[in-house]
Amino acid sequence: MKFRKTEFRKLNARQKENFNFQKVAAILADYGFVSMRLSDDWRGADFIAQHVSGKPLRVQLKGRLALDKRYRGKMLYLAFPDRGIWYLAPHDKLLDKVLRATTIGSTASWKKRGAYSFVRVPQKVLSLIDPYRVSTL
């Protein structure tokens, strides 16, 4: 059998989510985590990342940096890629930093839906997410 790499852009939404889970789970394994996919969102989490120390993380998987008021107070981490780099960040801490450093709080998206996502993370926000980098190109 000859193997060919899959083109991410040709996958449907569910396939992309599965692909992203496999990618981030492999990266987190390098940091001592075993990741378990949940069949449905449990308290906002798409998967649990259990560290070898015993500490579990509840993780919301995103295809890009997306912040949401409904995740506040749920002790969730966000896993998301940007420019081929994966990040794992505590949602609430990152949300507070981004709200202080940007104007997303005054956007229609944030005011009406309580959510905001970045198609591509701007330079100003890159410095805020850099401490949460878990992979490189």
pLDDT tens for residues 11-24?
Answer: 999 999 999 999 99
Residues 41 and 43: their CA atoms lie apart, in Å, by 6
Residues 16 and 52: their CA atoms lie apart, in Å, by 28
At residue 34, φ and ψ (nearest 5 deg) are -110, 130
The pTM for the full model equals 0.92
Structure tokens at 106: 């005054």
Which of these CATH numbers, 3.40.50, 3.40.1350, 2.60.120, 2.60.40, describes 8-132? Answer: 3.40.1350
What are the pLDDT digits (tens) for 43-95? Answer: 889 999 999 999 999 999 999 999 999 999 999 999 999 999 999 999 999 99
Residues 26 and 23: their CA atoms lie apart, in Å, by 5
Residues 15 and 22: their CA atoms lie apart, in Å, by 11
% helix / strand / coil in the chain, to the nearest 5?
Answer: 40, 30, 30
Q: Residue 37 carries which DSSP code?
A: E
Domain locations in the chain as residue ranges: 8-132
Residues 81 and 25: their CA atoms lie apart, in Å, by 13
